[in-house]
Amino acid sequence: MDRRLSLSSEHLRLLDPEGTEGVLLGTRCGQCGVTVFGPTALCPHCTSDELTQVELSRHGQVWSYTFVHTPTKEWKGEVPYALVDVELPEGPRVLAALVDCRFGDVRIGMPVALALRVAEVDGDGNQIVAYRWRPVGSPASLGAGQ
């Protein structure tokens, strides 16, 4: 089987060699307790550098959304696509594409779960896995495409 690698190891940790399970990573401030998505050198709330990497929840709620008709040139998935800003129980919001959902079904407050998708294949044949959101109840399987 081809190797699967995280698109960004500072934001998404793959938990198994097949890259079918993963968890989002955040940074928690030991001074004020604020949690942010991904790495940060200083706490954006209190500027403390007393920071710890933490694993974030795999579920959240849609806080905002938009439909992208003109993606950046790095985007390899289908167009148009739904881009959702999802609020996690720990506080941070995580912006990513929404998969397995008809555009008309997207709602503010909708519960969503983490989904992993192969975003692209690199020059060495590795499958690059990206984080996406999916409606709760849809299959979690790691498929091709966006």
Q: Where are the beta strands (DSSP E) in the chain?
A: 4-6, 12-14, 22-29, 35-37, 51-55, 59-68, 81-87, 93-98, 111-121, 127-135
Would you say 30 or 145 has its CB closer to Zn ion? 30
Nearest distance from C-beta of residue 33 to Zn ion, angstroms: 7
Helix (H) or strand (E) run with residue 119 in it: strand 111-121
* Cα atoms in the Cβ-side hemisphere of radius 13 Å centred on 33: 2
Binding positions for Zn ion, rule: CB under 5 A: 29, 31-32, 34, 43, 45-46, 48
Nearest distance from C-beta of residue 88 to Zn ion, angstroms: 17
Would you say 9 or 48 has its CB closer to Zn ion? 48
Nearest distance from C-beta of residue 43 to Zn ion, angstroms: 3
Would you say 54 or 140 has its CB closer to Zn ion? 54
